[in-house]
Amino acid sequence: MHSNIPEVVIDRLPRYARALALLEGRGQQVVSSQELGSELGVTPAQIRKDLSYFGRFGKQGRGYNVRRLAGELKSILGLDREWMMALVGVGNLGRAILSYRGFAPEGFRIVCAFDCDPQTIGASFGDVCVEDVEKLRLTLRDRPVDIGIVAVPAAVAQEVVDALVESGINAILNYAPISPHVPADVRLRDIEPVLALQGMMYYLKEAGGSAKTTS
């Protein structure tokens, strides 16, 4: 049912939603595709086309009602509910993820965490208690979890992904520096600062050496 809408379009919607939330916070009531576009560095035509996949949310001659459009986008994306997440890997990175303040306000809650280190198992972070990763399948059988977060070393990341998938999870946020294999019906996103950096360095390479192009 979804297959008709290009994935790139879906990918842009969260940015639109975020910009609209910002405008709403500023008290702005109406926005044109022009204005929203220049806020985000996107052409107005693209915004209009993207939105037109889902309905007619604007008023000709006026623009879009900020609050209304923000609400529509949240509903389209499924952000009008809470999503439960399980974290696997409670090392340095995992702890940072656990203490990240950005998830909760957007409706994403980490409800359980797993590790394999006996020192870490049993520890509590906020209201989350770290369980033995061996119990992952068992625990996920009882708890409704929607999303898995993988924050383990590369060497064990694939097996953790497999365990999550077998537990019925079909959205994974991967922080490990590998490209895991998942079945076609499972969504996977990589959060990989190193890949992002490496992609930029190509352009930096020739741009004039070590910083300072200043006269």
Partner DNA sequence: TGATGTGAATCAGTTCACAGCT
Partner DNA sequence: AGCTGTGAACTGATTCACATCA
Place of tokens 């009008």: 80
Q: How far is the CB of 183 from a copy of itself (least distance, A)?
A: 11
Both tokens of 187, joined, read 């969504």
Residue 187 near DNA by CB under 7 A = no
When binding is defined by CB under 8 A, the residue of 29, 53, 77, 137 that contacts a copy of itself is: 77
Residue 200 Cβ vs DNA, minimum distance, rounded to whole Å: 16
Alpha-carbon span 116 to 88, nearest angstrom: 9
Contacted by 25, from a copy of itself, DNA, none: CB < 5 to 8 Å by type: none
Q: How far apart are CA 92 and CA 153, in angstroms?
A: 11
Q: Which is nearer to a copy of itself, 22 or 138 (CB)?
A: 22
Cβ neighbors of 129 (< 8 A, separation 6 or more) are 112, 113, 122, 123
Q: From the list 16, 64, 108, 114, which residue makes contact with DNA (rule: CB under 7 A)? A: 64
Residues 128 and 115: their CA atoms lie apart, in Å, by: 12
Using the contact rule CB under 8 A, the part of the chain among 27-35, 62-70, 73-81, 115-123 near a copy of itself is 73-81
Q: Are the beta carbons of 89 and 117 closer than 8 angstroms?
A: no
Q: Which residues neighbour 115 within 8 Å (Cβ) at sequence distance 6 or greater?
A: 88, 89, 90, 91, 94, 121, 130, 131, 132, 133
Stretch that binds DNA, among 19-27, 61-69, 103-111, 162-170 (CB under 7 A): 61-69
Residue 63 DSSP label: E
Q: How far apart are CA 176 and CA 68, in angstroms?
A: 38
Please give the size of the binding site for DNA, defined by CB under 7 A. Answer: 25
Residues 14-43 close enough to bind DNA by CB under 7 A: 32-34, 42-43
Question: Which one, 129 or 204, has the nearer CB to a copy of itself?
Answer: 204
Nearer to a copy of itself, 12 or 68 (CB): 12
Contact (CB, 8 A) for 109 and 46: no
Q: What residues between 166 and 185 interact with a copy of itself by CB under 8 A?
A: 168-171, 173, 177-179, 181, 185
Give which of DNA, a copy of itself, none residue 169 binds (C-beta under 5 to 8 Å, depending on kind): a copy of itself
Cα angle value 104/105/111 (rounded, 5°): 15
Q: Which does 45 bind (CB under 5 to 8 A by kind): a copy of itself, DNA, none?
A: DNA
